[in-house]
Amino acid sequence: MIRTRKKKLFLILLVLLSIIVLWFSTPFWLKKIGSFSISNETLQKADIIIVLSGDDEGQRLRHAFSLYQRGYARKILLSGATNLWEETGIDLMEKYLIQLGVPQKDILSEKRSESTVENAIFSKHLLQDRGLKSAIVVTSPTHSRRVSLIFKGVFSPHYLVSVSSDPEAFKPEGWWRDPSRRRTVIREYFQMCWYLLLED
């Protein structure tokens, strides 16, 4: 176990060092780094769409609504525990979906999860309780690679899961020139490495 963890740590440090070197390299490789953080998966119809909280601009909800409208699933699960004054972020997400046209009966929620791993664990419990077998997880593009790793690790082999995001929400071109996008991409790589290091 210790040897395996040391090997993972070495590989992660190697990846992070490579990223730093590539930072001063050509835009071609920097674009590849941004692109790799995005998981592009082929979608099939599922039992439910899971929307992760943490999106202040509503892009995840609008993308989930688009999938719902196109018949990819008949239910939407809102997952997260963002607390606001007198309301949770999930409450506001639910109101927004209803404004978009989703009936209340098609919206489920779990308000306990405080991390992406907990999103996956608590969502899996809900699928179990309701006899559901497949899900499409909606998140932001740069979060999608890590979400795919985590959810597939938690859901497999008994549940089918795919990850989807709005392609217009993030463009890999020139992300390193924008402070906000730069922070987002670098943070995702560090969190992905941290997850890979600590997972059993």
Stated length of the chain:
200
Question: What would the CATH number be for the domain defined by 48-169?
Answer: 3.40.50.620
Three-state secondary-structure class, residue 190: helix
Measured distance between the N- and C-terminal CA atoms of the chain, rounded to whole angstroms = 9
**Which range is least confidently modeled, 59-68, 83-92, 117-126, 135-144?**
83-92
Spell out the residues 6+ positions from residue 108 whose beta carbon is closer than 8 angstroms to its own.
Answer: 48, 75, 76, 77, 78, 126
d(CA 127, CA 46): 12
User: Which DSSP symbol is given to 76?
Assistant: E
Lowest mean pLDDT among 78-87, 98-107, 117-126, 177-186: 78-87
Region 29-43: mean pLDDT is 88
Residue 166 pLDDT more than 60?
yes
Domain boundaries, the chain: 2-37+171-198, 48-169
- Per-residue pLDDT reduced to its tens digit, 40-58: 899 999 999 999 998 878 8
Q: Residue 38 — very low, low, confident or very high, per pLDDT cuts 50/70/90?
A: very high
> CA 184 → CA 75, 91, 170, 179, 190, distances in Å?
30, 25, 10, 9, 10
The pTM for the full model equals 0.85
**Positive or negative, the Cα torsion across 63, 69, 73, 74?**
positive
Q: What is the 3-state secondary structure (H, E, C) of 100-155?
A: HCCCHHHEEEECCCCCHHHHHHHHHHHHHHHCCCEEEEECCHHHHHHHHHHHHHHH
The region of weakest confidence among 69-73, 107-111, 189-193 is 189-193
Q: Which range is most confident: 7-21, 73-87, 107-121?
A: 107-121
CA distance 31 to 170: 12
d(CA 143, CA 151): 12
Residue type, position 104, single letter: Q
85 pLDDT higher than 60: no
Q: How confident is the model at residue 64 (pLDDT cuts 50, 70, 90)?
A: very high
Of 62-71, 84-93, 143-152, 167-176, the least confident:
84-93
Which of 4-18, 125-139, 162-176 shows the lowest per-residue confidence on average (mean pLDDT)? 4-18
* Mean model confidence pLDDT for the chain: 89
What pLDDT, on a 0 to 100 scale, did the predictor assign at position 13? 82
